[in-house]
Amino acid sequence: GESVGLHLPTLSVQEGDNSIINCAYSNSASDYFIWYKQESGKGPQFIIDIRSNMDKRQGQRVTVLLNKTVKHLSLQIAATQPGDSAVYFCADSSGNTPLVFGKGTRLSVIA
């Protein structure tokens, strides 16, 4: 079946810098994309989502960019903080199909 993958398994950034986490998806029919943050021992936490009729959406300190031409999704975190250290997952869905998750990127923030 289709799968969503992430380019990098780990990412280390200095506290205060911006972080960019990338994701590639393969299903051209996908029309809904979502990012989750998962801290150790916890369930995935909803960060931000975007639909295919948009190419950018901003939240609090986070921005999601969608490039449908190359089937690429990214999550930008501004002024990264130690509390942002976690594994980040992207997922996609097309219509009423279940979310397909990538393997995740572990973000480590260096104080």
Quick check: 25 binds another protein (CB under 8 A)? no
The residue among 24, 73, 23 whose CA lies nearest residue 50 is 73
Distance CA 71, CA 27 (A): 8
> What is the total residue count of the chain?
111
Site for another protein in 53-72 (CB under 8 A): none
Chain centre distance of CA 96: 20
Which among 16-24, 61-69, 72-80, 90-98 is the span making contact with another protein, rule CB under 8 A? Answer: 90-98
Quick check: 43 binds another protein (CB under 8 A)? yes
Question: At its nearest, how many Å lie between another protein and the CB of residue 17?
Answer: 27
Quick check: 98 binds another protein (CB under 8 A)? yes
Size of the site for another protein (CB under 8 A): 21
Q: Which is nearer to another protein, 14 or 45 (CB)?
A: 45
Buried b or exposed e, range 3-35, using 16+ CB within 10 angstroms? ebebeeeebebeeeeebebbbbbebeebbebbb
Q: Which is nearer to another protein, 34 or 107 (CB)?
A: 34
Residue entry with tokens 């969608």: 66
Q: Footprint of another protein on this chain (CB under 8 A)?
A: 32, 34, 36, 42-46, 49, 89, 91, 93, 96-104
